[in-house]
């Protein structure tokens, strides 16, 4: 009997769209006292795309022969993933490497899903609609926050939509909005759909304008320039592949008018857009200075471990525990430059692999663009524009430290890799005999891997949920209950924020309980050691306070002098003028103190000098040295 060949099935594209929309919506809508927006999105995206990747593997036909198409695009990006995975063996913080690897795994699963999609015009149209709806959701929630603030969502900087930070909320939009032009120029979009698309796209741009993030503005401008340049080059053949009519003209002009109108309003009312631009530009110098300081620290880390770095997720650990931090760069969770952060994590080798991957990605897309299929070449050109805009943004921000941009990038890479195989010869094609047991083992392996990833995420969900409950019901002294088996990368930052909040309202027992957990994990955390020593001094436990201060002085970040200042205050309180004078002069004569002292350090030192008779003579010297009025 003739064996019937099993037809290859494809994943329903609506599932991919639904996941993107879900990731856009999810956020700590209810647990608001301990809010961790990026983590909520990471576990929804990670588990969700993992399940979709597993479904695609399950849908593959179990034929007796399986072919493998190796391209330089696949090899370069897979090599980078393998390097990141192997970095766990030389990582300075294995827990953080696992945290970061989970984001990379999200990208890998998205690549598998994108690679297995059916790449016809109908699928690409549905995918574009789904991703744009996700972007519209982000922008819509952000605009409502900006105008009315009707939600309980916490925002570090508004309008943050569901991301908690306005900078982070722009990352997915930069990767998605160019697809609106794919739909607009398509003959599949007509009548009311055109108006819905153009008005929604205008609101996307209004949200980006309201966000006032220079990285997103530069990225959008770069994307617009690339699109305009492409249309100029192809102007003689536009009619062959662009569908246009009066309805689209009217809708586009109306959307442009709406955009130009709304950017002249802020949350207080009428405000000319040039005033907003001027305001954003005026803060560029100070913001740029802080970025340069962070990047300088990152470069120092790369120089210390140049070839293979210190492991995925190691930036934060290096900054706080390995002596690379400074007074101003003391508790930054990210390097605000994904290329430099990659260099910190996997060294120059990783940076080179990324650049090689980018070269082969560009090559693949340009090969697709040169083909006769006009619809395909327009879609993939816009994908290239979106990724180019995001690569521009990542030089000033951190999109690929977050789940949703990683998911989108993996999806796009999968689409490009699959489409380019029709035009670029394989480096090597393998055709191997496979049994049913082989296919089953592959599925079981991925199932187990996704279950492990899900279990880790569930443990972290329990951590943050319990922490929120302890905070809500005033039981934060039981904070040891929340520490997970694998320490989540964002947990130290959140614990520090909790401790700071209690420190400000003088709830000492709560501060000590939280800082104890921070110092168990990171014994050299400057700010936690300072709080502990300060509280010991307030409780008149001077021996313990002095012991902690001496340790803090030996491991303090460059420019961090609070330990020295606290030492002076302890001597002052305990009436030890000789020791006070010696410590005062030792600090005053430190070259680093003269260069890096903050205004608060300077004022504290002046206060001590003005109160102690033996130190009065130094008050003028301090004022002159720091140019104090």
Question: Tens of pLDDT along 366-393?
Answer: 999 888 666 678 999 999 999 999 999 9
Higher pLDDT, 219 or 589: 219
Instruction: Tell me how far the alpha carbon of residue 44 is from its chain's centroid.
Output: 15
Report residue 170: phi and psi, to 5°. Answer: -85, -20
Portion of the chain with pLDDT greater than 70, in percent: 94
Q: How many CB atoms lie within 10 A of CB 267?
A: 13
Inter-CA distances, 600 with 121, 596, 625, Å: 62, 11, 15
pLDDT in tens, 545-570: 999 999 999 998 888 888 888 998 89
3-state SS, residue 330: coil
Q: How confident is the model at residue 613 (pLDDT cuts 50, 70, 90)?
A: confident
pLDDT in tens, 246-284: 999 999 999 999 999 999 987 777 777 777 777 766 666
The residue assigned the tokens 């689409």 is 415
Q: How many CB atoms lie within 10 A of CB 543?
A: 8
> In this structure, are strands 265-266 and 269-270 parallel, antiparallel, or unpaired?
antiparallel
Report residue 497: phi and psi, to 5°. Answer: -65, -40
**Domain coordinates of the chain in residue numbers?**
13-437
- Torsion angle in degrees (nearest 10) through CA of 595, 597, 603, 605: -90
Q: How confident is the model at residue 8 (pLDDT cuts 50, 70, 90)?
A: low
Q: How confident is the model at residue 462 (pLDDT cuts 50, 70, 90)?
A: very high
Secondary element (H or E) of residue 44: helix 37-59
pLDDT the model gives residue 628: 44
pLDDT the model gives residue 1: 38
Mean pLDDT of the chain: 90
d(CA 353, CA 104): 15
The residue assigned the tokens 């588990």 is 47
pLDDT in tens, 58-111: 887 666 677 778 899 999 999 999 999 999 999 999 999 999 999 999 999 999
Q: Which residues pair with 67 in a beta bridge?
A: 431
Tokens of 90: 């030389």
The pLDDT of residue 405 is above 80: yes
Mean per-residue pLDDT, 446-472: 94
Mean per-residue pLDDT, 359-371: 92
Q: Which residues pair with 165 in a beta bridge?
A: 157
Peptide bond into 585 cis (omega under 30): no
Mean per-residue pLDDT, 217-233: 95
Tokens of 73: 């695009």
pLDDT the model gives residue 87: 98
What does the DSSP 8-state code read for residue 558?
B
The answer to whether the beta carbons of residues 208 and 175 sit under 8 Å apart is no
Residue 161's region, left for phi above 0, alpha for psi from -120 to 50, else beta, is left
pLDDT in tens, 20-53: 999 999 998 876 666 689 999 999 999 999 999 9
pTM equals 0.92
């Amino acid at each position: 009997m003739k064996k019937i060949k099993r037809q290859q099935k494809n994943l329903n594209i609506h599932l991919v769209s639904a996941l993107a929309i879900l990731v856009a919506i999810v956020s700590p809508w209810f647990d608001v006292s301990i809010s961790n927006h990026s983590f909520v999105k990471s576990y929804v995206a990670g588990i969700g795309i993992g399940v979709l990747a597993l479904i695609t593997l399950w849908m593959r036909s179990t034929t007796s022969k399986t072919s493998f198409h190796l391209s330089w695009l696949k090899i370069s990006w897979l090599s980078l993933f393998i390097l990141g995975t192997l970095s766990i063996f030389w990582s300075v913080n294995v827990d953080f490497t696992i945290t970061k690897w989970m984001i990379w795994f999200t990208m890998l699963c998205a690549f598998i899903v994108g690679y297995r999609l059916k790449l016809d015009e109908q699928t690409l149209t549905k995918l574009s609609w789904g991703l744009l709806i996700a972007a519209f959701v982000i922008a819509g929630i952000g605009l409502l926050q900006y105008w009315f603030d009707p939600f309980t969502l916490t925002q570090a900087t508004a309008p943050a939509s569901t991301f908690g930070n306005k900078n982070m909320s722009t990352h997915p939009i930069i990767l998605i909005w160019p697809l609106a032009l794919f739909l607009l120029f398509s003959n599949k979009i007509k009548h009311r759909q055109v108006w819905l698309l153009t008005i929604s796209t205008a609101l996307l741009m209004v949200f980006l304008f309201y966000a006032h993030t220079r990285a997103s503005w530069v990225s959008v401008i770069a994307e617009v320039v690339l699109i305009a340049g492409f249309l100029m080059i192809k102007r003689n053949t536009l009619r062959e592949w662009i569908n246009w009519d009066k309805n689209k003209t009217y809708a586009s002009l109306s959307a442009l008018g709406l955009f130009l109108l709304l950017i002249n309003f802020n949350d207080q009312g009428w405000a000319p857009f040039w005033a907003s631009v001027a305001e954003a530009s005026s803060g560029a110098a100070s913001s740029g200075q802080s970025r340069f300081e962070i990047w300088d620290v990152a470069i120092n880390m790369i120089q210390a471990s140049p070839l293979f770095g210190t492991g995925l997720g190691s930036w934060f650990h290096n900054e706080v525990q390995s002596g690379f931090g400074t007074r101003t760069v003391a508790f930054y969770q990210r390097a605000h430059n994904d290329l430099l952060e990659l260099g910190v994590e996997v060294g120059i080798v990783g940076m080179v692999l990324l650049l090689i991957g980018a070269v082969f990605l560009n090559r693949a897309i340009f090969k697709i663009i040169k083909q006769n299929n006009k619809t395909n070449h327009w879609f993939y050109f816009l994908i290239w524009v979106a990724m180019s805009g995001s690569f521009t943004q990542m030089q000033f921000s951190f999109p690929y430290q977050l789940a949703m941009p990683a998911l989108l990038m993996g999806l796009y890479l999968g689409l490009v890799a699959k489409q380019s195989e029709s035009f670029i010869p394989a480096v090597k094609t393998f055709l191997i005999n496979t049994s049913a047991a082989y296919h089953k083992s592959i599925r079981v392996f991925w199932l187990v891997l996704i279950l492990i990833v899900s279990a880790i995420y569930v443990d972290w969900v329990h951590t943050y949920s319990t922490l929120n409950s302890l905070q809500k019901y005033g039981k934060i002294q039981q904070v040891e209950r929340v520490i997970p088996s694998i320490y989540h990368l964002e947990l130290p930052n959140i614990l520090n924020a909790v401790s700071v909040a209690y420190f400000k309202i003088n709830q000492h027992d709560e501060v000590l309980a939280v800082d104890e957990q921070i110092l168990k994990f990171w014994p050299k955390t400057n700010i936690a050691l300072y709080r502990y020593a300060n509280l010991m001094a307030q409780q008149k436990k001077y021996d313990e306070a002095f012991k902690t201060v001496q340790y803090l002085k030996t491991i303090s970040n460059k420019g961090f002098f609070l330990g020295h200042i606290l030492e002076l205050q302890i001597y002052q309180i305990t009436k030890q003028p000789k020791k006070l004078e010696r410590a005062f002069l030792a600090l005053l004569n430190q070259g680093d103190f003269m260069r890096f002292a903050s205004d608060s350090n300077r004022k504290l030192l002046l206060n001590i000098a003005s109160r102690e008779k033996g130190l009065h003579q130094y008050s003028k010297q301090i004022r002159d040295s720091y140019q104090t009025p």
